[in-house]
Structure 1
Amino acid sequence: MENIYKRKVNKSLIPTCNIMGVNIAAINMEWLVSYLNENLEDIKGDYICVSNVHTTVTSYEDAFYCAIQNGGLMAIPDGGPLSTVGQKRGHKNMERTTGPSLMGEIFKISAEKGYRHYFYGSKEETLEILKQKLEEKYQGIQIAGMYSPPFRPLTEDEDKEVVERINETKPDFVWIGLGAPKQEKWMAAHQGKIDGLMLGVGAGFDYYAENIKRAPIWMQKSNLEWLYRLMQDPKRLFKRYLNTNTKFIWNAMIRGK
């Protein structure tokens, strides 16, 4: 991936902390928003992974997916445990930078900056509500386009049409809401083909469409958002959390991987 896509910025200037093989950006939200504002024109076509315990453990066990996590512009610490490990390893300014929070920070300045947004993923109904909610909350926001892809894989011709459709709208930010690991694989496959900066934000669409609620601020700050999500969707998340959290604690926190 790295030898095919010609990056215009020096990726080595982004501080990182290697956690279980993934180079997690050792940054905070202020640094990230400033970086995106200053370098946007030069990082279009690239992608950002929003990484957490689940994606990091998956990367540790899957070399291909790990290469995707490391092959983009950066992998930001969405999960609180990642920033906690980073701080313990000497990256004192490393803080949790969640996908939904980043979306909000960018949306707030979009009218002033003239940023154009494209949303790829989720259901048609969710996208319609999302558009309405964003235009109500962020006056002057430019939503360049939205697309809900079918659940089946796209044919080569269909994929070319999607790329053309996105690029015709001249987006600055292309938000991908397919869920991990699908969204990261999609971004990597389209690196250098999409004219905007791609960011895989998982459930971010549902948060801003208000289909699901985010944890209270105190839980977010205490790294307990995972618990709030578990209470919202215990059947789906309990087994995953039990499996990945245990592996993360053993490998990252105890073994120092």
Structure 2
Amino acid sequence: MAHDDALYRQVLNSSALTFPDGAPVARLMRKRGFETERVAGPDFMEEVFKLTARDGRLSHFFYGSSEKTLALLKERLNSRFPGIRIAGMYSPPFRELTKEEDEAVTERIKSSGAELIWIGLGAPKQEKWMFKHKGAFCGVMLGVGAGFDFHAGTVKRAPLSWQRLGLEWLYRLISDPRRLFKRYLVTNTKFILYTAGMGRTGSKRKKK
């Protein structure tokens, strides 16, 4: 997506930290000499929830998804991670927020005092939202895509065997083809073509 979207590319390049959430990206990075592993959003969230529930020092705010999903998420987090501090939640409308609405929710997040602000709007919307609100909060913003749904139990994750094979994307596509067809088949095809082009460019440079 960043290849075709200049703003999204700028957003990713200016982020404090970007994890390779997909197995193909992690593999490509290793192939190019980077020591990295895939860091799936839901797994990262799980570890952070465990740590913060244990010491109780940091609180969480969840921005995104539906009110139903957020309610289930809160219930499950309190059950699975006793001691976790949830400072607030907000389910935005599907449309663009008005200036007044955006200012109100920004103040709501700020007033909550949350140190960890989870954004679950999906890419590239969540990254652009965080870029727009950079510096608005004292807390750290973390974009996690469908992480809310997985932890709320409204969407089932791929079996571990599929995850280990790097096929979680395929499992999700089979589970929800109507919504994910374009994202995975079209975007993934572009990714393969772009990286193949990068490989040819790299080979030409080596020959020189």
In structure 1, the residue matched to 2:159 is 216
Q: Who wins on radius of gyration, i.e. which is larger?
A: 2
* CA-CA distance at 1:84 after TM superposition: 0.2
| Greater percentage in strand | 1
Which of 161, 172, 175 lines up with 1:229 in the alignment? 172
In structure 1, the residue matched to 2:92 is 149
Residue 116 (structure 1) aligned with residue 56 (structure 2): no
* CA-CA distance at 1:157 after TM superposition: 2.2
Q: CA RMSD in A?
A: 1.3
1:45-124 correspondence runs (5 A): 58-91=1-34, 93-113=35-55, 114-124=57-67
| Greater percentage in helix | 2
CA deviations on 1:177-206 (whole Å, 9 max, x unpaired) are 111111111100000002211111111111
CA deviations on 1:71-90 (whole Å, 9 max, x unpaired) are 11122100111110111111
Answer whether contact 1:85 1:253 (CA < 8 A) is retained.
no
Gaps of 5+ in 2: 202-208
* CA-CA distance at 1:213 after TM superposition: 0.7
* CA-CA distance at 1:254 after TM superposition: 5.1
* CA-CA distance at 1:95 after TM superposition: 0.3
SS of the residue aligned with 2:113? coil
1:1-257 correspondence runs (5 A): 58-91=1-34, 93-113=35-55, 114-253=57-196, 255-256=198-199
TM-score scaled by length of structure 1: 0.74
SS of the residue aligned with 1:153? coil
SS of the residue aligned with 2:118? strand
SS of the residue aligned with 1:140? coil
* CA-CA distance at 1:223 after TM superposition: 0.5
Q: Which runs of 4+ in 1 moved over 4 A?
A: none
CA deviations on 1:182-237 (whole Å, 9 max, x unpaired) are 11111000000022111111111110110011111121121110111011101222
Gaps of 5+ in 1: 1-57
Distance, in Å, in 2 between the alignment partners of 1:248 and 1:160 is: 36
Answer whether contact 1:207 1:213 (CA < 8 A) is retained.
yes
Q: Percent identity?
A: 53
Distance, in Å, in 2 between the alignment partners of 1:254 and 1:181 is: 23
TM-score scaled by length of structure 2: 0.91
